[in-house]
Structure 1
Amino acid sequence: MKMELVGYKPLDFESNGERVKGTQAFVAFEEEGVEGKRTDKLFFRDGFELPDLKAGMTLEVAFNRKGKPESVTIAQSAQRLNIGKQ
């Protein structure tokens, strides 16, 4: 699923005696029935392989059956090629 990375922040805190460390990403994406874009936040535990994140980039996010992110890559932008008459 293509998502625009709006922003992100590192997290490192303790909750109920358990350490939570990772990256929280804020994303926007198109969804049927939504005027404009829907927004959401994703959490990636420390050690999850992420590309170098920059706000404004488009990501391709794959999810597992439980709806948790499985992989994240930078989406390739479509480039037009001039083929034929010049």
Structure 2
Amino acid sequence: MQVKLVGVQRVNFTNNSGEVIKGTKLFCEFKDENVEGLKTNAFFIKPEIKIPECKINDVIELSFNMNGKVEKIDKA
């Protein structure tokens, strides 16, 4: 799915269970046939997934696995 990158947030915290959560949140805009205009969503990216060098407003390609989690990111 091609999306336009509109924000990036680094995540590093400990949840209530004591588990350390690290990764990156990508805030993206994309077309959705059920929404008039563009839809915005945040996607959590685990540290082991390589994020290409990109800037705000760049178009990137997100690939998802069978569980709906981001598996791969490419620069479009």
Shared fold, TM over 0.5: yes
- Deviations 1:28-47 (CA, angstroms, capped at 9, x unpaired): 10010211101100011112
Deviating above 6 A after TM superposition, structure 1's stretches of 4 or more consecutive aligned residues are: none
Which SS does the other structure have where 2:49 is aligned? coil
Q: TM-score, normalised by structure 2?
A: 0.92
Q: Structure 1 CA distance, aligned partners of 2:54 and 2:22?
A: 17
| 1:64 maps to amino acid | N
Residues 55-74 of structure 1: matches in 2 within 5 Å? 55-74=56-75
- Which is bigger in relative contact order (C-alpha 8 A, separation at least 6)? 2
- Deviations 1:10-69 (CA, angstroms, capped at 9, x unpaired): 110001200001100100100102111011000111121110131100011111111111
- Cα RMSD of the aligned pairs, angstroms, is 0.9
Q: TM-score, normalised by structure 1?
A: 0.82
Structure with greater Cα Rg: 1
Structure 2 match to 1:23: 24
Q: Structure 1 CA distance, aligned partners of 2:54 and 2:20?
A: 23
Q: Percent same amino acid at aligned positions?
A: 36
> Which structure has more strand as a fraction of its residues?
2
Residues 1-86 of structure 1: matches in 2 within 5 Å? 1-15=1-15, 16-75=17-76
Number of corresponding residues: 75
Name stretches of at least 5 consecutive residues in structure 2 with no aligned partner. none
Q: Structure 2 CA distance, aligned partners of 1:60 and 1:44?
A: 13
